[in-house]
Amino acid sequence: MATEIQKNLAEKNAEYAQKFDQGHLALPPAKKYLVLTCMDARIDPAAAFGISLGDAHVIRNAGASARDAQRSIVISEQLLGTRESELHRDFARVSSRHTGCGMLTFTNDDAHAIVKKNLGPAALAELGALDFLPFPELDKAVKDDVEFLKVSTTIPDDVPITGWVYEVETGKVRQVV
């Protein structure tokens, strides 16, 4: 039986599909850029960052970690952009973390202890030495991410990369790098 959440998805999607007229959009992002942000429920990247449908790849994970997103970032640029290598370099990247992020509230040791307590030793073993990638300082995490992407050999040197903080309290972005 469908849960309330599944019913909501089906009903809201039916309304969306009825008005949908963007079926012509091509696979490569029209504006050739990529936004990396957090999975946090309080962020709507399309609305808050002005991304029109079809314009940009949007990657979201816990904490907006660039390390965690590396597979997707390389695929975005090298495989799903334009397939013409002279255009790959037009990709720009925006990396944004945000205030009030839950990733500021725990350490790896905390996370492993909670998994063990709530889910048991089998779950802990399944995750192994997984780095949950928490971070204690917001601006420093943004700077570290941009640095990680800039020194990475997987991203051409002339790709613009900027780092931002999104304020969940005000809806404002603030450029850090």
Q: Decide: is 176 part of the binding site for a second copy (CB under 8 A).
A: no
Q: Which residues contact 88 (CB under 8 A, 6 or more apart)?
A: 77, 78, 81, 82, 156
Q: What is the dihedral of CA 70, 141, 62, 100, to 10 degrees?
A: -160
Quick one: CA dihedral 59, 164, 93, 144, positive or negative? negative
Measured from the CB atom, is 11 or 137 closer to a second copy? 11
State the nearest-atom distance from the C-beta of 143 to a second copy, in Å: 17
Which 25-44 positions form the footprint of a second copy (CB under 8 A)? Answer: 25, 27-31, 33-34, 39-42, 44
- 98 appears as a binding residue in the annotation: yes
User: What is the distance between the alpha carbons of residues 175 and 166, in angstroms, rounded to a whole number?
Assistant: 9
Q: Decide: is 68 part of the binding site for a second copy (CB under 8 A).
A: yes
Which residue in 54, 82, 138, 177 binds a second copy (CB under 8 A)?
54
Measured from the CB atom, is 53 or 137 closer to a second copy? 53
Per DSSP, 83 falls in state S
Q: Decide: is 87 part of the binding site for a second copy (CB under 8 A).
A: no
Which residue in 138, 156, 176, 177 binds a second copy (CB under 8 A)?
156
